[in-house]
């Protein structure tokens, strides 16, 4: 099985989170929703985007950023437009990918403390960012490929 945790820090858009939950269930990843959420977990848009896959997703809400920070270890990596290296350079033993909110990105603490663990998804100059769900899919499938798609058909 794939060993991967996808962590979203303070996600704001339920449709993105539902789509990401669907992705997590498809690859067997856990989904951590961290901090204050911009929606209710019973939101109809979250459920619609997750379709009938939400019950197959392993979702954990971690209400406190400090509680989440204690879970960061050497196998945790961050995806941000402020990263210096492309996501394809994430080490093979990565087990957790962390993404910031749609509007605010990652907390300042992460940029200051983990700058060497920040990776980006390359794109043309002048493009601010990709959709959060698209970014999660790109980076998550890279990790799945590094793990030889173990347990996936």
pTM: 0.93
What CATH number has the domain bearing residue 123? 3.40.1280.10
Q: For the residues 37-43, what does the mean pLDDT come to? A: 78
Domain range for 83 is: 5-146
Position 62 in a domain: yes
Position 152 in a domain: no
- pLDDT confidence of 128, banded at 50, 70, 90? confident
Position 21 in a domain: yes
- pLDDT confidence of 77, banded at 50, 70, 90? very high
Position 151 in a domain: no
CA distance linking residue 34 with residue 60, whole number of Å: 8
The mean pLDDT value of the chain amounts to: 92
Number of domains in the chain: 1
Q: For the residues 63-72, what does the mean pLDDT come to? A: 96
Q: For the residues 104-115, what does the mean pLDDT come to? A: 95
**Model confidence at 101: pLDDT above 80:** yes
89-92 long-range CB contacts below 8 Å, 24 or more apart?
A: 89/119, 90/119, 90/139, 90/142, 90/143, 90/146, 92/146, 92/147
């Amino acid at each position: 099985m794939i060993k991967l945790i996808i962590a979203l820090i303070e996600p704001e858009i339920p449709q993105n989170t539902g789509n990401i939950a669907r992705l997590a269930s498809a690859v067997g990843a856990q989904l951590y929703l961290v901090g204050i959420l911009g929606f209710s977990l019973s939101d109809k848009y979250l459920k619609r985007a997750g379709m009938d896959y939400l019950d197959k997703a392993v979702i954990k809400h971690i209400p406190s950023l400090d509680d989440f920070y204690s879970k960061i270890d050497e196998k945790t990596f961050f995806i941000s437009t402020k990263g210096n290296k492309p996501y394809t350079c994430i080490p093979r033993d990565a087990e957790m990918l962390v993404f910031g909110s749609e509007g605010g990105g990652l907390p300042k603490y992460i940029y200051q403390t983990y700058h060497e663990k920040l990776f980006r998804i390359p794109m043309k100059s002048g493009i601010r960012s990709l959709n959060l769900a698209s970014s999660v899919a790109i980076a998550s499938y890279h990790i799945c490929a590094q793990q030889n798609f173990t347990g996936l058909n």
